[in-house]
Structures are given as structure tokens and as C-alpha cells.
Amino acid sequence: LGAYRKLDPGPVERFVFHDHPTGRDRVTMAMNFKAAELAAGATDIDPSMAPLVPEVERYVAKREADRTAKAGE
């Protein structure tokens, strides 16, 4: 995805060129979706992906903490 598309375009680029989520937004949405599914009791279809679960959970927890801190400012 990042090889042919800028992952994090600026606001003007986003407004002019993007009528869909950016690469970074797509990856973030996928990670949030997976974390929510796992929290709801879903299991990984591919057991080889299981080592990524703690990393995804840490990412989502940090993101939520950052959002909470930003909202409190």
C-alpha cells in the first residue's frame, strides 16, 4: 500500500486527491476492527497471526489513551 500511495498526506492533498481513506487510515481501521473483534470473543482464523494480538491490543490502548488525553486538554 505504501509503495504506490502516500500513507499520510497533508490536509490539502487529502482534500484535493482523496475521495477514500488514506493508507494510514485503512491500516488503522483494520487494526481497530481486529482488536474489537478479538475483544468480542472472535478467534484468529490463521493461528500464525496469534503473536500479533498483544501488539494490536497495546496499539489500541495507546490510541484510546491519547484520545482521552487530547479530549481532556
| Concatenated DSSP letters of 14-43 | HHHH-SS--HHHHHHHHHHHHHHHHHTT--
What is the Cα–Cα distance from 11 to 32, expressed in whole angstroms? 23
Reported in sequence order, the residue ranges of 1-73 that DSSP labels E, i.e. its strands, are none
pTM to 2 decimals?
0.48
What is the Cα–Cα distance from 31 to 26, expressed in whole angstroms? 9
**Amino acid 22: pLDDT:** 81
Would you say residue 40 has pLDDT above 80?
yes
| Residue predicted with more confidence, 5 or 71 | 71
pLDDT band of residue 32 (cuts 50, 70, 90) is very high
pLDDT band of residue 2 (cuts 50, 70, 90) is low
**Of 57, 5, 49, which is closest to residue 26 (Cα–Cα)?**
5
- Give the mean pLDDT of 17-37: 86
